[in-house]
A and B are shown apart, each in its own frame.
Chain A
Amino acid sequence: MEALWLETLGTICERVAHEIKGALNGVVVNVEVVRSRSAKADVSGASLHQYAQSASSQLDVVIAMTEAMLALTRPPRRPLSIAQTVRHVDALVGAAARADDKRIELQGMVDAVGTTSASPDVARLVIGAAFIAAVDASTDLVCSATPGTDGAALCWEVRGGGRESESIPAIDPAVLALAASEGIEVQKNGQQLSITFPR
């Protein structure tokens, strides 16, 4: 289980590294503009605002990614918040995919999906693996959720049916075996991947 999660985390880090560096560079470069221009006597504070603002917003991006990364590296809380985990993975894998011009939409219902009684480690692993598989399949994805009393369902779907080549790839059988042992149902149907978590 631990090895599978470390492998998934490694994949997430690899994908998001460029985005973190890019955002950090945005901070550094814009701070440098502010630093060098503010040293000149004839420069007004207003003219620096744009660059200070840009540095600040890039810093927000770095903070969000760092927080998501830290959250995923900590042991998960019991019961696991499915929505929060999806948001953390999206802040990293989704951000990297969006930088590659992919369209990833998380529908509002995701936040209402609640928690699961399944092992938080396994549930988190399944969410991470499913998100990566779905992002690899298409350039245009939508993630929706169905809260229910018996179980909560997450579904990734290639928007508009997609092309034939855009079928969601298979998830590692070892992950699927762990999911089954915890009562998590994973169903793949061509361009759709759905996961049902026990309540």
Chain B
Amino acid sequence: MKHEKAKILIADDEQAITAGLSAILADEGYAIDIAPDGQKALERLSEDRYGVILADLKMPKLDGLSLLRELQAKQIPTECIIITGQATVDSAVQAMQQGAYDYIEKPLNADKLNRLKALIPKALEKFNVQQKNRELTSRIEGLTHYGELTGQSEAMRGIYQIIDAVAPSNASVLILGESGTGKELVARAMHAKSERAKGPFFALNCAALPKEILENELFGHEKGAFTGSTNEKPGAFEMASGGTIFLDEVAEMSPDIQVKLLRALESRQVRRLGGKKEISVDIRILAATNKDLQKAIAETELREDLYYRLAVVEIVLPPLRERTDDIKLLADEFLHRYASQNGKQITDFDAAAWDWILSYHWPGNVRELKNAVERSVIMARGDTISVTDVMPRHLRVAGEVPTSVTIPVGSSVNDARRQLTLRTFASTGGDLARTAKLLGTSPDEVRRDVMGLLSDAGAGASSEAGGSGEEASNGKHSLPDLMSAARPTAPAKKPLPKKR
């Protein structure tokens, strides 16, 4: 690649050399500037951008090595080629260690000049790549959106950089992350940034389709392949040829489809159901899963060879709770989107709503936040959204219900059982039958545990309040009270219930 009019700075105090060198390099199509010493060179490099600097090691005021150190310290982007006399090869090696692109020994005879002419385009290539990278990094640092993805946290900027780097290649990418983190949006962004952007993007959820239908969707079928197949039908591989296929929940795919998929990935050929001929496809595969892949491979749910084929590059999407910087940005964006869609003049969340939004752990990730905001916009009556608008119903009843139970070491089996029962009971919104089903026990047993705790909690609450205990015996405790009583992380405020 010829770098027409790329700028080169020659730093040398030998006027005869700089004049000759600049003529030779100008003939090669470069724009040349000259600095008579290292100090002047540094000034020029600070003011203007030069892809390459040719610096003599021995110069007045600031020698080549000191100049190189200054360039590094001031992070001035350029590629430095050191010109040195034979006696200073050690210094040239030192210069290379300090980041010089290369060095050329004097005398600059025709061979050395030819080598210099060959070196400069390579140095410029490196400079340009690094320049693009610097621009990309600085662009991404200010980004709040990337494709359909929203986020300006460090974690998301890292994801944007990976997408930018990987998108132009043809490598298979495996996108990992909890449900609702935006795996499909990453796949869409990658497709949009790739050279396949003009081709189709075909998304298939492997968990949502029964095995036979999924196979048919992926590979298509010939007429008469099975009962009722009156026409031939191309599969996703054929239809998405020239584009990208996104296979969501790929670990849910049945083992025999995994074999066919592996074969298609390796040979870039597919055969329709009931068909005999191989059809070549030009396809890029992006896959996603929220499963623990090590476990899935160990339990032979996912073929290891398929995993390695799919995971040429792995992208791990962070859950929303790990990028709290983005929650406000996302909530604001969803608020304005749904307010506009629903024709409502809602401008903001109130302070309590913001407190709750920013402190909640969002187990359903961005999808849960999006749904919560959409629902709150629909439900809100004023121009701001309150905490009761945005908080899901089951949490409004029970307070925040964690999805896990922490049982301290040393707890009795009965205490552990009671905590598990009550948490599950709270998470179902007080549904005895569902709690019993989830716990694998009977509704009567759940009732006994709950009533037992009600008695204990009631006694404790009455005692604290100086009351008679009548409220507890009447069974009028709310679910939040129960949860509070059962919460093991706050024993000082409300002791765990005593053993019955």
Contacts and interface: CB of A to CB of B under 8 A. Distances in A.
Interface string A1-32: 00000000000000001100111111111101
A101 B37 CA distance: 11
A58 B58 contact: no
Central interface residue in A32, A54, A58, A101, by most chain B CB within 10 Å: A32
Contacts of A23: 14, 16
Contact of B60 (A28, A29, A50, A101): A101
Interface in B3-35: 13-17, 19-21, 23-24, 27
Interface string A38-68: 0000000000001100110110000000000
A33 to B, nearest CB: 4
B108 interface: yes
A36 interface: yes
Contact of A99 (B13, B17, B23): B13
B305 to A, nearest CB: 58
A32 B110 CA distance: 7
B495 interface: no
A25 B108 CA distance: 6
Contacts of A18: 58, 85
Contact of A51 (B14, B23, B108, B109): B23
27 contacts: A17-B87, A21-B106, A22-B14, A23-B16, A25-B17, A25-B106, A25-B108, A26-B14, A26-B17, A28-B108, A28-B109, A29-B20, A29-B21, A29-B24, A29-B113, A30-B16, A30-B19, A32-B20, A32-B24, A33-B20, A33-B23, A35-B110, A37-B23, A51-B20, A54-B19, A99-B13, A101-B60
Interface string B433-447: 000000000000000
Interface in B52-77: 58, 60-61
B382 interface: no
A100 B13 CA distance: 10
B113 A32 contact: yes
B24 A25 contact: no
B30 to A, nearest CB: 14
Interface of A: 17-18, 21-30, 32-33, 35-37, 50-51, 54-55, 57-58, 99-101
Nearest to B14: A22
B210 interface: no
Contacts of A35: 110
B17 A29 contact: yes
Given A28-B109, A32-B113, A101-B60, A22 B17 contact: yes
Nearest to A61: B16
B107 A57 contact: no
A50 B15 CA distance: 13
A58 B16 contact: yes
Given A17-B85, A101-B60, A36 B24 contact: yes
Nearest to A43: B27
B477 to A, nearest CB: 91
A127 to B, nearest CB: 26
A23 to B, nearest CB: 7
Central interface residue in A28, A51, A55, A58, by most chain B CB within 10 Å: A28
Nearest to A23: B16
B57 to A, nearest CB: 10
Contacts of B14: 22-23, 25-26
A25 to B, nearest CB: 5
A28 B108 CA distance: 7
A28 B109 CA distance: 6
A97 to B, nearest CB: 12
Contacts of A21: 85, 106-107
A21 B87 CA distance: 11
B20 A54 contact: yes
A30 B109 CA distance: 10
A18 to B, nearest CB: 6
A32 B87 CA distance: 24
Nearest to B19: A54
Contacts of B27: 33, 36-37
A102 to B, nearest CB: 10
Contacts of A26: 14-17, 20
B107 A25 contact: yes
Contacts of B110: 28, 32, 35
B19 A51 contact: yes
Contacts of B23: 33, 37, 51
Central interface residue in B23, B24, B58, B113, by most chain A CB within 10 Å: B23
A32 B17 CA distance: 11
Contacts of B85: 17-18, 21
List the 3 closest pairs (A to B, CB-CB), nearest first: A26-B16, A29-B20, A30-B20
B16 A54 contact: yes
A51 B24 CA distance: 11
Contacts of B15: 26
A17 B106 CA distance: 12
Nearest to B37: A101
